[in-house]
Amino acid sequence: MWLWRYIPLSLLVAICGVSSSQLPTLVEVLNRDDDYSLLLSLLQRTRLIPTLNKLNGSTFFAPTNDAIKRRSGKDSLLQRALEGDDLGVPDNVQEELRQQLFYHLLNYTIPVPVEQTTQTLKTLHFPKRSISPPTHKPPPSPPWLPIPEGTLGGEPQRLRLTSRDKSLWVGTDAFGQGGVEVVKERTVASNGVVYGISDMLQVPPSLANIVGNETSLSYLRTILTPDLEDFLNDTSCLSLFMPVDAAWESIDPLERLYLESAFAEDDRRRILDMHSVVEEGVKWSESFSSSTKMTTEYGSVLDVEVSSKGTTINGTKVVQPDVYASNGVLHLVSTLLIPPGALQLTPEKYLLTLNCTSFVSLLHSVNLTHLVNNSDHHYTILAPKDDVLSFFNDGLPKAGSEELKQILQYHFIPGVWAPKKLDHEALLETELREPGLDNGRQVLQVEVHNGEKSAADSKHISFGGAGIIGEHVDLNNTIIYFISRPLEPPVDPLQTALPSLDLSSFLAAVFSTSLADVIKKTPRTTFLIPRNSAFKRLGRLVSDHLLAASSKADLENVILHHVIDSVRYSKSLVNESQHTFATLEGSDLQLERADNGSVFIRASGGWTDTQSALYPQNLLTETGVIHEVSDLMIPRTVELNVGKLMKAAKATTMASMITKAGFDWVLNGTAPPEDSEWTGRGLDGASWTVLCPTDDAFKEFNLTELLQDQEALRSVISQHLIPTPPLSISSGSGTVDPNNNNRPLPLYDLGTYSTLLSPSSAYGDIVFRTLEDKTGSEYMVGIKGARGTDGKADWARVLGWGRTTTGSGTGGVIQVDQLLMPYHPKWWIEYGPPSFVGAVGVAQSPKDNKSLAGENVKSFIAGGFGGVCAVLVGHPFDLTKTRLQTAAAGQYTGAIDVVRKTLARDGVTGLYRGIVPPLLGVTPIFAMSFWAYDASKSLIYAFTPNRTSGTLSTLELATAGFLSAVPTTLVTAPVERAKVVLQVQGQGTSSTQYKGVVDVMRHLYREGGIRSIFRGTGATLARDGPGSAAYFAAYEVTKKSLIPRESTSGDLNLGAIIFAGGTAGVAMWSLAIPPDVLKSRLQSAPTGTYSGLFDCFRKTVAQDGITALWKGFGPAMARAFPANAATFLGVEASRKLLDSLF
């Protein structure tokens, strides 16, 4: 009897002799059985009744009422459909529910099942991606029959029917297990049969959901990422051959650990592609044969073998076929289908297992994974471990930034550098390519110190100052060293040298010129920086000359003479044979290598006997390298003569006297002119050292009298001119002593030198003495043999010196604090003791103070510019607001109506009617407002001298804002009066009354005198006082909260200024609308309408209600943000421009 339930419809009709036309339809069968009432409700809701009537010879697995109720408790869509909740259903055509019901329908009658067999059935459900967003248009007309299309390549979804245990089960797995039991007798209809089932059939979900619920794929789920899930969700006709959990144990543990990390996206995708087939049709097992070959997304080929023992894929057993999904099918296999060599153990995988996860994460953020995921590359990797990076994390640039990318590239050294190959102070090229090296590789210095053992593994190694932690890891083509801190790539030369205090003098000289950017940005250079001691030996007058504002060209030439126009590391300078190196100044430097390994550099000019010792440092920069030198090098383009050094010595009086005496050729460092009386006296090739008193030394002398006596003047000047032979002072090493080679004279203790006066006077020679107390001066100089003058005219302290480069390259200027008058002793003291004493003085220079008046002018101008910006942006809004506020009740329906009618009547220019008064008044109004605000803040500071905070509180800012409105009202009131009168004319049916601002003012004055022009002043102050308080306070507070703390006051943060300015406008008008309404009515009403502000308030409320006080609120708010954003942007931008100009 059991099999009768499953006889085909046509056979059953023939046996029973019943005509199919006498049988009920499918819908009638359902309607006659109360157990299908809920199903009928769903069919009606999904409009499938016509579809059922259209079908012929179909099979319907009909869920009973109990089945539907049971399923509705788990299915919210079904529950809402049963409750009649149309609003809760995602789409108006019930598409999702309809597809569920189609999964219960076959377009044919099933054959008689045989016990313990499973049939694969094709339903009327054609899966497709859900409509997004859902359509609100129903199909054109019923019946709605399924269309062969969708994510299975036009194939319908499968459904299995199994006969077991003398029952039928539908929706079983490939082994005939599970499923929903057929619980009701089959009912024959004229166009099909109905099987009552105990539960609703579940439509197969996407492969992503299948994988997520399959118990044997738990490991696969641990390595799935959102991108891979999207692939499983969105790919149509996808056939998956996925290995079960046990299969993954065959992978190397290191590879598995890598797959479980956040960085194995490529490997995870490759593995998924190796097990994915996407072709025209879904690869169900029913299509398999021994000749079947499939190509995976990875490109590998899958060979299918079908036998009595089962199906294998590339020799791997299919342990469960055909797990149906909405976009394909899942087959479970016993082992991985990974081609040999497809997965390799890369350096990245080792780094992850060796606690370098953060380092790998940073590499991924800047797309440098190619450096660690290719086992064929040869690299030495300097990797900080996670604990190291966590300590230094705050000092690293933002993940994904170009700065971080450069830092990470600096951790990779091409080649395999084992410890035994590393030499002390070797420079290794890195993966970082610097624009400052013409995209050449930046180098990294290695330091190697041998330990107690001689073996290579006992070496203490550091890279760029970062030590090595633990043992290195040697892979096939890669070595990994674990370093104690992240490496920092070299920066520009000036920033590199700044931490060295011993180089600060030369760096200060660089920053005093315009060469900083040149030195920073010129590629491939070697910077030779003199130590601070070089400036002391240079001589104070030479230093003062080079650092003087008038000598910038000389200083720049000196600086550029220290920059070699190529990159020369220590090895190149010390060991190679090249001797001449071009500089950025244009002339060359000469290198001399001594036998003892020392290296000296000679400049192209300067003093012929000067050389500078080279101290190779290899301070790496982004444009090359820095070395230190002992002395400053003067190029031939810089001429140091007596005149320049005397100017540096502040000796203009002495220079004038030398010129007056006929010795001007001494100042220029040239031979005497041919017509000079000094020609032919053997002075042609002489260099001169001038004892040079400062201008202060002449305060007690009558210069007029001295300059009139030509003979006495020449005598005085001759006393200060010392013919100077070439220096020949050497140290024991055969090199010039750098402590003396930049002096005009050796300045030995009691060293005697002849002056130009010596041939004609017994007291023409001078003598130097070393002072015991060197507080004010190290030396003093006096007239040799002078006695009895009480030390007032024949001695002086040496304040400084400078050596010239003209002539023979000797001589120069010695600055002294007294004028040495030629000595003429009396006979009774001729044999008395010589007198030598000294003194010092101190001078101070005042500091410049910033002009307060200048700041006020800047505030005034910036405010006026901001006001112009506000009017240009906000006037159309202001016109709309005013017309709303002053119009008769019912004239306008709202702000849009005002704009519409204004455009219709006056065109676009009508929106700018009345703009002339605010434009004319905007400069004084806003200028005065911002000036008064700054002045009010200064006033608050003045009245709070004992304040503990250097910044004003919000209340103090608001107070300053309120005070700023008081003087501003004197200008605002008449301007607002004229503007309002012009804005309201032409309103309604009235015609234009005034021709312009002057006409308005003339009319108002004739109407009521000055009082008429200033009508509404009280209301203006009532509006602007609280409004300005909120205005400035809101701007300051908002701007402060938006600007980062690290920003300087000179930064122009446009976003913060615009937002803070707009917020300030909204805050102001939130308070100012009611008084603004009263002001507008007072100023626009005919004379006598209102007796004052309170009368206007009373009549406005009585006539139009309290809401009239908020008329124009919309346009005011609409105007507030853009207009005031423009105001503050104009103020800030113009103020910054003024600060840069003045």
What contacts 24+ positions apart, CB below 8 Å, involve 514-520? 514/552, 514/556, 515/556, 515/559, 515/560, 518/560, 518/584, 519/492, 519/493, 519/494, 519/559, 519/563, 520/492, 520/493, 520/494, 520/495, 520/623
**Residue 27 DSSP SS3:** helix
pLDDT of 525: 95
pLDDT of 15: 40
Structural domain spans, the chain = 2-197, 207-333, 360-482, 493-629, 649-829, 854-1141
In 75-217, which ranges are continuous DSSP H helix? Answer: 76-83, 95-102, 207-213
On the 0-12 / 13-18 / 19+ scale of CB atoms within 10 A, 978 is buried
List the 158-164 sheet strands across, edge first: 117-122, 158-164, 167-170, 180-181
Q: What is the CATH T-level fold of the domain 2-197, as seen in this structure?
A: FAS1 domain (2.30.180)
Residue type, 35: D
pLDDT of 751: 79
DSSP 138-177: --SSS-----S-STTTTPPPEEEEEEETTEEEES--TTS-
Q: Which residues have a Cβ under 8 Å from the Cβ of 732 and sit 6 or more positions away?
A: none
The rounded distance, in Å, linking the Cα atoms of 802 and 963 is: 61
Q: How many CB atoms lie within 10 A of CB 749?
A: 10
- Tokens at 944, concatenated: 């709070």
pLDDT of 60: 96
Cα 525 from chain centroid (whole Å): 28
The rounded distance, in Å, linking the Cα atoms of 691 and 796 is: 10
3-state SS of 1037-1069? HHHHHHCCCCCCCCCCCHHHHHHHHHHHHHHHH
List the 412-414 sheet strands across, edge first: 412-414, 379-383, 478-482, 473-474
The rounded distance, in Å, linking the Cα atoms of 680 and 520 is: 53
Angle at 149 between CA 145 and CA 151, to 5 degrees: 130
The rounded distance, in Å, linking the Cα atoms of 80 and 84 is: 6
Asked if domains 2-197 and 207-333 share a fold, the reply is yes
What length does the chain have? 1142
The H-or-E segment that residue 1093 falls in is helix 1093-1104
Query: What are the phi and psi torsion angles at 1111 (to 5°)?
Result: -65, 140
Q: What is the DSSP letter of 335?
A: S
For 197-235, how does the pLDDT look when each residue is reduced to its tens digit (9 = 90+)? Answer: 999 999 999 999 999 999 999 999 999 999 999 999 999
DSSP 546-614: HHSGGGHHHHHHHHHTTEESS---HHHHHHS---EEEBTTSSEEEEEE-TTS-EEEE-SSS-TT--EEE
133: preceding bond cis by omega (within 30 degrees): yes
pLDDT of 852: 57
Q: Which residue has the tokens 């979900």?
A: 205
> b vs e for 999-1008, b when ≥16 Cβ sit within 10 Å of the residue's Cβ?
ebbeebeeee
Residue in 312, 214, 327, 221 with CA at minimum distance from that of residue 272 = 221
Q: In 483-556, which ranges are E strands? A: 525-530
Residue in 1067, 1053, 1042 with CA at minimum distance from that of residue 1124 = 1067
State the sign of the Cα–Cα–Cα–Cα dihedral 989, 991, 996, 997. negative
Q: What is the DSSP letter of 773?
A: -
**Residue 786 DSSP SS3:** coil
Residue 1117, beta-bridge partner list: none
Q: What is the DSSP letter of 242?
A: E
The rounded distance, in Å, linking the Cα atoms of 105 and 111 is: 15
Q: Which residues of the chain have pLDDT under 70?
A: 1-21, 85-93, 112, 130-143, 451-458, 680-686, 726-741, 748-750, 774, 776, 787-793, 808, 826-854, 885, 921, 923, 945-946, 948, 950, 986-992, 1045-1052, 1142
Residue type, 547: L
pLDDT of 986: 65
**This model's pTM is above 0.95:** no
What CATH architecture does domain 207-333 belong to?
Roll (2.30)
Residue type, 1001: M
CATH H-level, domain 854-1141: superfamily: Mitochondrial carrier domain (1.50.40.10)
Cα 374 from chain centroid (whole Å): 31
**Residue 631 DSSP SS3:** coil
**Residue 796 DSSP SS3:** strand
What CATH architecture does domain 360-482 belong to?
Roll (2.30)
The rounded distance, in Å, linking the Cα atoms of 1019 and 1074 is: 10
3-state SS of 911-955? HHCCCHHHHHHHHHHHHHHHHHHHHHHHHHHHHCCCCCCCCCCHH
**Residue 255 DSSP SS3:** helix
Distance linking the first and last C-alpha atoms of the chain: 110
- Tokens at 127, concatenated: 């899966």
Which CATH number describes the domain made up of 649-829?
2.30.180.10
Task: Output the CA–CA distances (angstroms, integers) from residue 735 to 62, 229, 803, in the order listed.
Answer: 112, 78, 19
Q: Which residues have a Cβ under 8 Å from the Cβ of 317 and sit 6 or more positions away?
A: 310, 311, 333, 334, 335
Q: Which residues have a Cβ under 8 Å from the Cβ of 962 and sit 6 or more positions away?
A: 1025, 1026, 1028, 1029
Q: Tell me: domain 493-629, CATH 3.40.1280.10, correct?
A: no
Residue in 217, 23, 201, 226 with CA at minimum distance from that of residue 123 = 201
